Amino acid sequence: MKNKLKLMISFLGINVLMFSCTETFELNLERTEPKVVIQGLVTNLPGPYFVRLTKTTNELKVKYEPGLYAEAYDDHTEIIENAVVIISDNQGNSDTLIPSPYHNYIYYHGDSIMGYYCTQNLIGVVGREYYLDVFADGKYYHAESIMIDAPVIDSIYYSYKEGDIGKPTKITPQIYLDKINNNVLYGEIFFTREEITHYNLMWWYSMLVDLNDYPTDLPIPFYAYAENGKNYLEPYDLSEDFQWAIVTMDEKAYNFNKTCYQQFWDDGGAYKPAPATPIGNISGDAIGVFQVSGVSIY
């Protein structure tokens, strides 16, 4: 994965020609019927688990105001209320979700529901298959996925590299895993100084990994940030008090997340591949993914 990541990074150099000029392009979008967007996550960590229902928009301008940190988590997108959302498993357990502010961003938005629906009593168990059924705006959407056991982190070693003049020392973690279950192909690494729970599995602190390519050790986590409208990757300035987690997911969820990531780099420019809509595992022409993950914490 890291090999390919670096190749991807190298192509950034081609995007900007020496002689090129740029200007904002007014794209006149056709007014199309909005699509339903479904974002669901069930793990083997303590619940409740949540599903978010929103709609696409024909606008390309983001409504929140950059610079306001808390606002960054409030996308002001159109939410879907009064939907029926049910998560069940192959053991006969079923849970009808209720609108709730109890989600990732509760810290920033208090009791604002923002289109989230939460489980009431469901417990995520590794090895079970989970089903999502959504009835919204007169349409039915369905997804299913198996919770795969996450490999255990055996050890993490940190190596230190002195930074260039004016730059800080870099700390590079090398993560070693126990033998991986053959069913595990894809995952995500999370790392945070806080205790890892179902609620802080947020994008900022994660990195997709193809565990199939790296059976024992994992790549160095980078983080992406935007500056002056450009995206950059930087290795995380880590310290040894971070808590780590390996989160598994099925191939469709992995591909959905990966495609979203790629949108930061594959912008559709002349030297980039044609971009495409991320395709998840939800039927009924909805955009989104129902991710069912086993989590191991180190």
Partner 1 sequence: MSKIRIITLIMLIVATNTLVGQNVTIFGHVTDSTNGEFLIGAHIVCLPSNVGIVTNNYGNFSIQIPSGSSTLMVSYIGYTTFIKPIISDKNIECNISLIPEPKNIDEVVILANNNSMKISTPETGLHSLKQKDFDNIPSVGGIPDVLKSLQLLPGVQTTNEGTTGLSIRGGALDQNLILVDEAPIYNPAHILGIFSAINTKMVKEVVVYKGDFPEKYGGRASSVIDVRLRDGNNQEFLAEADVGILGAGLICEGPIVKGKSSFIVAGRVSYAGFVANCAKKVSTVIPIYSLNDFHSGNNVYFYDINGKINYKINSKNTLYLSVYNGFDYFYARNVNDLSTLDWGNTTMSLRWNRRSGSRIFSNTSLIYSGYNFNNSSGDFTSISNWSSTINNFNLKYDVDYYPNSNNHVSLGAGVEYMAINPGELHWDNQSSQEFDFSLPIERTIQPFVYIGNEQKISNWMILNYGIRFSTFGTLGNKYVYSYENEVAIDSVWLNKNEFEKNYVFIEPRLTVAFNMRNNSSIKASYTRVNQGIHRINNTSVSLPTDVWVPSGKNIEPIVSDMFSVGYYLKPKNNNTIISLELYYKEQQNITDYIDNADLQMNKHIATQLRQGNAEALGFDIMLKRENERLNGWISYGYSYIEHQINEINEGEVFYPRYHKPHNLSVVINFKYNPRVSFNAVFKYNSGGFITLPEGTFFYRSKPFSYYTERNGYELPAYHRLDIGMKYISKKNKARKWKAFWDFGIYNVYNRKNAFSIYTETSWLSLNVTKMYIFGATPYITYTIKF
Site for partner 1 in 204-263 (CB under 8 A): 214, 217-220, 224-226, 229-231, 235, 255, 258-260, 262-263
The stretch among 68-76, 83-91, 186-194, 238-246 that binds partner 1 (CB under 8 A) is 68-76
Site for partner 1 in 33-62 (CB under 8 A): 34-35, 37, 39, 54-62
Asked if 115 and 52 touch (Cβ cutoff 8 Å), the reply is: yes
* Phi, then psi, of 271 in degrees rounded to 5: -100, 15
Q: Per rule CB under 8 A, is residue 203 in the interface with partner 1? A: yes
Among 8, 113, 123, 146, binds partner 1 (CB under 8 A): 8
Q: Hey, is 218 helix, strand or coil? A: strand
Cα 245 to Cα 221: distance, rounded to the nearest angstrom:
12
Q: Per rule CB under 8 A, is residue 290 in the interface with partner 1? A: no
Among 99, 101, 278, 284, binds partner 1 (CB under 8 A): 278
The alpha-helical segments, DSSP class H, found in 77-122 are: 106-109
Site string for partner 1, 75-94 (x = CB under 8 A): x-x-----------------
Site for partner 1 in 91-110 (CB under 8 A): 104-105
For the bound state, the minimum distance from the C-beta of residue 67 to partner 1, rounded and expressed in Å, comes to 8
Cα 145 to Cα 6: distance, rounded to the nearest angstrom:
31
Among 19, 110, 138, 240, binds partner 1 (CB under 8 A): 19
Kindly tell me the burial class for residue 295, based on how many C-beta atoms sit within 10 Å of its own C-beta (0-12, 13-18, 19 or more): buried
* Phi, then psi, of 291 in degrees rounded to 5: -100, 125
Q: Which residue has the tokens 């590079």?
A: 172
Q: Per rule CB under 8 A, is residue 182 in the interface with partner 1? A: no
Asked if 289 and 280 touch (Cβ cutoff 8 Å), the reply is: yes
The stretch among 28-36, 81-89, 93-101, 190-198 that binds partner 1 (CB under 8 A) is 28-36
For the bound state, the minimum distance from the C-beta of residue 251 to partner 1, rounded and expressed in Å, comes to 10
Site for partner 1 in 137-176 (CB under 8 A): 161, 163, 170, 172, 174
| Strand 94-96 versus strand 84-89 pairing type | antiparallel
Q: What does the DSSP 8-state code read for residue 281?
A: S
